[in-house]
Structure 1
Amino acid sequence: MPTMIRRPPTIVCYICGREYGTKSISIHEPQCLKKWHNENNLLPKELRRPEPKKPEVRTITAKGFYDLDALNEAAWTSAQSQLVPCNVCGRTFLPDRLIVHQRSCKPKASK
C-alpha cells in the first residue's frame, strides 16, 4: 500500500493569491504589500485601487487549531477582488496586466 505524503501546510497571500509556507508568509506579506503600493502608484488614476485589507477570519477552531481552509478561502477572495474587468471582453486582470491586455483586445466584429 503506497504511503500518503502530506504536503506541508501553506497559507494564501491575501494580496497576490499565491501560496507560501507558514514560516515564510510573514516575510512575504510586507514585501508583497510594498510591491503592490509601488505598482498601484504607477497606474493611471482610474485604475488605482484601495489598499487590500487582510481578511479577519476567526481561524481558531474549537479544538484550538488554526482553520487554514477558512483563512485561505478569505485570502483568496481578497486577492481575487484586486482584479479589474476589461471594458471590452469582460475578462479580469491585475490592473498592470489589464493595460497590456487592452492594447490587443478588440471588440468582436458583428456579422
Structure 2
Amino acid sequence: PKRPPPTVKCYICGREYGTKSISTHEALCLKKWHNENNLLPKKLRKPEPKKTEVKTITAKGYYDLDAINETAWTNAQNPLVPCDNCGRTFLPDKLVIYQRSCKPKPAK
C-alpha cells in the first residue's frame, strides 16, 4: 500500500498541509489572521502568533515532523479565549458570536 505524503501543521490555524505547500499557506494564513484580528474589539485582540523553532533534523538527517507538528498544534491553540460566562474556549471572532447566546447561570 502507498504511504500518504508527509504533512505539517500550520502554527496559525492548526490544519495540515503538504511539506511543499506549507510555506505558501503560512504566508496567506498570517495575512488572514491579521485581517480578522483587526476586526475584533481591542480587548480581544491577540499578539501576532510566532513560529516556534524546533530541532527539526534528526540524527539521520531527516525532518522530525512529529516535533514540528506538536509545536505547531500548541501554537495554534494559544489564541483561544475563554467565555466570561461558562469558560469554554473559542477563537476570538467566534467568541463574540457565542456570547450573544451564552447567558450566566442563575445564582442559587
The answer on 1:29 being equivalent to 2:18 is no
Q: Distance in 1 between matches of 2:38 and 2:107?
A: 38
1:12 offset after TM fit, Å?
A: 0.3
Structure 2 unaligned regions, length at least 5: none
Taking structure 1 as the reference length, the TM-score comes to: 0.93
Are residue 41 (structure 1) and residue 42 (structure 2) matched?
Answer: no
Gaps of 5+ in 1: none
Could you tell me which amino acid in structure 2 is paired with residue 81 of structure 1?
A: N
**Pairing partner for 2:87 from 79, 85, 90:** 90
Partner of 2:64: 67
SS in 1 for 2:97: helix
SS of residue matched to 1:99: helix
Shift of the alpha carbon at 1:108? Answer: 2.1
Correspondence for 2:7 among 6, 10, 15: 10
How far does residue 110 in structure 1 lie from its aligned partner after superposition?
4.3
Counterpart residue identity of residue 42, structure 2: K
Cα displacement (A) at 1:100: 0.4
> Deviation above 4 Å: which 4+ runs of structure 1?
none
Cα deviation for residue 23 of structure 1 reads 1.1
* Cα distance in structure 2, aligned partners of 1:87 and 1:81: 17
Measure the CA separation in 2 of the matches of 1:6 and 1:55.
Answer: 28
Q: Which residue of 1 aligns with 2:47?
A: 50
- Superposition TM-score, scaled by structure 2 size: 0.95
Equivalent residue, structure 2, for 1:103: 100
Figure out how many residues of one structure are paired with residues of the other and give that number: 108
Deviation at residue 26 of structure 1 after TM alignment: 1.1
Partners of 2:20 and 2:74 in 1: CA distance? 22
Match of 2:16 in 1: 19
Per-residue deviation, 1:109: 2.8
TM-aligned CA deviation for residue 68 of structure 1: 0.2
